[in-house]
Amino acid sequence: MHEMSLAEGILQLIEDAARDQAFAKVTTVWLEIGQLSGVEVEAMEFCFDAVMHDSIADGARLEIIALPGTGWCMECSMNVPMTEVFGECPQCGGHQMQVTGGTEMRVKELEVA
Q: Which residues make up the interface to other proteins (CB under 8 A)?
A: 1-2, 5-6, 9-10, 12-14, 16-17, 19-21, 23, 27, 30-32, 38, 65, 74, 84-86, 95-99, 101, 104-113
List the 69-73 sheet strands across, edge first.
78-82, 69-73, 97-101
Nearer to other proteins, 81 or 101 (CB): 101
Q: Which residues pair with 70 in a beta bridge?
A: 81, 101
CB of 110 to other proteins, least distance (A): 5
Cβ distance to other proteins smaller for residue 45 or 104 = 104
User: Is-contact 80 91, C-beta < 8 A?
Assistant: yes
Cα 55 from Cα 78, distance rounded (Å): 45
Q: Which is nearer to other proteins, 32 or 49 (CB)?
A: 32
- Minimum gap (Å) between residue 84 Cβ and other proteins: 8
The residue among 9 and 81 lying less far from other proteins, judged by its C-beta, is: 9
Report the C-alpha gap between 41 and 67 in whole angstroms: 12
With beta carbons less than 8 A apart as the criterion, state whether 75 and 96 touch.
Answer: yes
Shortest Å distance, C-beta 109 to other proteins: 5
